[in-house]
C-alpha cells in the first residue's frame, strides 16, 4: 500500500499543477485585459456614437431611422476596407514587435496607411453622385424620391466625403495597437467620439445657437470625428508618442504579405455587406417598422456587448501575434483559447442581462408599440447568440494575428448564407413563420460561423503560415 506520506505528496503535486494552471490562465487574462480595456472604452464610445445617431434620428421618424440604417449598409463598405487593412497591419505589427523586427513593422504601418488613404477616394465620388439612388435600389418598396431614399442619400454623401480619413484612422489605430500601445488610440478616439456625440445632438436637434440640421447634422458630426481621428493618430505615429513610426517603403514582400492577409478580411467585409442587402429586403418585406426595429435591436446589443467583444479581439490579436513573433506557438495557441474563455464568461453574462431586459432597453429608442415589440425580439435573439458570437470574434482575432483571415471569411459568409438568409427567407416567407424566423436566423448564423472558426483554430495551420511569412520577410528571431 502507498504510504500516507506518498499519498499526501501526490495530492500536493496535483494541487501544485492545478495552482500553476490557474495562475497561467489568470496571467493570460490579465494581459489580455490590460491590452483590451482601452479598446473597450474606445469602442464603447464609438458604439455610443452610433447609438446616439439612432436615438436622435428616432426623434425624427421611423423613416429617418431606416434611412440611417440603410445608408450604414453602404458605409460599411469603406469600413470593411479599413478593418481589412487594419487586420493585416495588426498581424504584421504584433509579430514583428514580438520578434524585435521594428524596421519591418514600421514599413508595414507606413504602407498600410498609404493604401488606406488611396482606397478611400472612389467612395467620395460614389456618395456624391449615387447616394440617393443607392438607397432606393435596396427594396422595391423604395423610390429615389421617397423620404427614406432622400434622407439616406444625403447622409451617405456626407460621411463618404471623409472616407480616406476614416481608413487612415482605422489603420493607424491598429498599427499602434499591434506595437503594444492600446492607450494612445483610446485617448484619440475618446475625444473624437465625444465630439461626434455632442455634434450629433447639437446639430441634429438644433440646440442652443446651433442650426437645426436634422439628418445633415448627424452626418456632419460623423465626418468631423473621422477627420479628427485620422490627423491625431498620424501625428502620434510621426511623433514620439507611440512605439510605431514611419519609414520610406522599399519592400514589396511586406506589401504582398500585407495584402495577402488583408484581402480575405476585406472580401469577408464586402460579402457580409452584400448579403445584408437581401437580408434588409426581407426585413422590409415585413414593413418599415420591422426594419427600424432590427436596427434598434441590433444597436442595443452592440452597445452592451460589442465594446467587450471588440476589445477582446484586439487584445487577443496582440497577445497571440506577439507570442508567435517570440517563437512560442504552443503558448500562442493556449493564449487564444484562454482569451476566448474570458470572452464567453463576461459577454455571455451580459447576454443574460440583455435577454431579460430587452423590452426595457429598446424602449429608450422608440415609443411606437409595434416597433418596440419587434425590437425587443431582435435584442433577445442577439442576447441568446452572445456567448457564441464572442467566441467567434475572439478566435477570429487570434487567427488573424496568425496570418489566417480565410477561415473567418468562410465561416462567417457560409453562416450568413445558411443562417441569416436561408432560415429567414425559408422560415419567414416561404413557410410563413414571419418575423420569429428572423430571430432564429440570427442565432443559427453565429452558431454556424463559430463552429467553423473553432475547428480552424484547433487544427493550427495558422501557426505554420505565420512562421513561413516571418521567414520570408526576415522577421524570425535570430535572423540578421
H helices present in 137-214, as ranges: 147-160, 163-178, 183-205
Q: Enumerate the domain spans of the chain.
A: 26-472
Say how far apart CA 170 and CA 183 lie, in whole Å.
Answer: 15
Predicted TM-score (pTM) of this structure: 0.81
Kindly report the backbone phi and psi dihedral angles of residue 259, in degrees, each rounded to the nearest multiple of 5, phi listed first: -70, -35
pLDDT score of 110? 95
Amino acid 1: pLDDT = 45
Does the CA dihedral 15-20-25-29 come out positive or negative? positive
Round to whole Å and give the CA distance between 453 and 320: 16
Helices (H), 240-287: 252-285
Cα–Cα distance, 475 to 403 (Å, whole number): 14
pLDDT at 8: 54
User: One digit per residue, pLDDT tens: the chain, 480 residues?
Assistant: 444 445 555 555 555 556 667 888 999 999 999 999 998 998 888 878 877 887 888 788 778 877 887 888 788 888 889 999 999 999 999 999 998 888 999 999 999 999 999 999 999 999 989 888 888 887 666 766 778 888 888 999 999 999 999 999 999 999 999 998 999 999 999 999 899 999 999 998 988 888 888 888 888 999 999 999 999 999 999 988 898 999 998 889 999 999 999 999 999 988 988 898 899 889 988 888 888 889 889 988 988 898 899 999 999 999 999 999 998 999 999 999 999 999 999 999 999 999 999 999 988 877 788 888 999 999 999 999 999 999 999 999 999 989 899 999 999 999 999 999 999 999 989 998 999 999 999 999 999 999 999 999 999 999 999 999 998 888 887 654
Burial class (CB in 10 A: 0-12, 13-18, 19+), 251: middle
> What is the number of other CB atoms lying within 10 angstroms of the CB of residue 440?
17
Q: How many CB atoms lie within 10 A of CB 285?
A: 16
pLDDT for res 3 = 47
Amino acid at each position: 500500500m502507498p504510504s500516507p506520506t506518498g499519498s499526501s505528496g501526490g495530492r500536493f503535486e496535483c494541487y501544485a499543477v492545478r495552482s500553476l494552471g490557474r495562475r497561467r490562465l489568470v496571467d493570460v487574462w490579465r494581459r489580455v485585459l490590460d491590452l483590451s480595456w482601452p479598446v473597450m472604452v474606445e469602442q464603447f464610445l464609438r458604439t455610443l456614437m452610433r447609438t446616439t445617431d439612432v436615438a436622435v434620428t428616432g426623434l425624427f421618424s421611423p423613416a429617418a431611422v431606416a434611412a440611417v440604417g440603410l445608408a450604414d449598409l453602404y458605409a460599411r463598405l469603406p469600413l470593411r476596407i479599413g478593418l481589412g487593412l487594419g487586420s493585416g497591419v495588426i498581424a504584421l505589427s504584433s509579430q514583428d514587435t514580438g520578434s524585435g523586427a521594428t524596421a519591418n513593422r514600421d514599413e508595414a504601418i507606413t504602407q498600410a496607411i498609404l493604401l488606406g488613404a488611396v482606397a478611400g477616394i472612389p467612395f467620395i465620388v460614389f456618395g456624391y453622385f449615387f447616394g440617393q439612388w443607392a438607397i432606393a435600389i435596396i427594396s422595391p418598396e423604395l423610390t429615389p424620391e421617397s423620404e427614406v431614399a432622400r434622407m439616406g442619400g444625403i447622409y451617405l454623401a456626407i460621411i463618404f466625403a471623409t472616407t480616406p480619413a476614416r481608413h487612415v484612422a482605422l489603420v493607424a489605430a491598429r498599427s499602434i495597437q499591434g506595437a503594444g500601445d492600446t492607450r494612445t488610440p483610446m485617448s484619440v478616439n475618446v475625444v473624437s467620439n465625444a465630439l461626434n456625440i455632442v455634434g450629433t445632438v447639437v446639430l441634429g436637434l438644433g440646440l442652443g445657437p446651433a442650426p437645426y440640421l436634422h439628418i445633415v447634422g448627424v452626418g456632419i458630426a460623423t465626418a468631423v470625428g473621422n477627420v479628427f481621428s485620422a490627423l491625431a493618430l498620424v501625428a502620434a505615429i510621426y511623433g514620439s508618442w507611440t512605439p510605431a513610426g514611419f519609414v520610406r517603403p522599399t519592400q514589396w514582400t511586406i506589401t504582398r504579405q500585407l495584402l495577402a492577409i488583408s484581402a480575405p478580411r476585406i472580401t469577408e467585409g464586402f460579402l457580409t455587406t452584400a448579403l445584408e442587402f437581401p437580408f434588409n429586403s426581407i426585413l422590409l418585406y415585413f414593413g418599415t417598422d420591422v426594419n427600424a426595429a432590427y436596427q434598434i435591436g441590433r444597436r442595443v446589443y452592440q452597445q452592451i456587448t460589442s465594446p467587450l467583444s471588440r476589445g477582446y479581439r484586439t487584445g487577443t490579436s496582440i497577445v497571440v501575434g506577439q507570442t508567435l513573433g517570440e517563437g512560442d506557438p504552443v503558448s500562442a495557441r493556449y493564449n487564444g483559447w484562454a482569451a476566448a474563455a474570458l470572452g464567453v464568461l463576461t459577454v455571455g453574462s451580459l447576454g443574460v442581462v440583455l435577454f431579460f431586459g430587452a423590452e426595457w432597453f429598446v424602449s429608450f429608442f422608440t415609443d411606437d408599440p409595434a416597433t418596440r415589440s419587434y425590437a425587443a425580439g431582435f435584442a433577445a435573439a442577439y442576447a441568446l447568440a452572445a456567448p457564441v458570437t464572442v467566441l467567434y470574434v475572439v478566435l477570429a482575432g487570434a487567427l488573424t494575428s496568425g496570418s489566417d483571415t480565410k477561415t473567418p471569411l468562410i465561416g462567417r459568409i457560409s453562416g450568413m448564407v445558411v443562417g441569416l438568409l436561408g432560415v429567414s427567407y425559408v422560415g419567414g416567407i416561404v413557410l410563413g413563420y414571419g418575423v420569429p424566423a428572423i430571430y432564429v436566423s440570427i442565432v443559427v448564423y453565429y452558431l454556424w460561423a463559430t463552429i467553423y472558426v473553432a475547428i480552424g483554430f484547433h487544427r493550427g495551420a495558422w501557426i505554420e503560415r505565420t512562421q513561413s511569412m516571418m521567414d520570408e520577410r526576415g522577421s524570425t528571431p535570430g535572423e540578421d
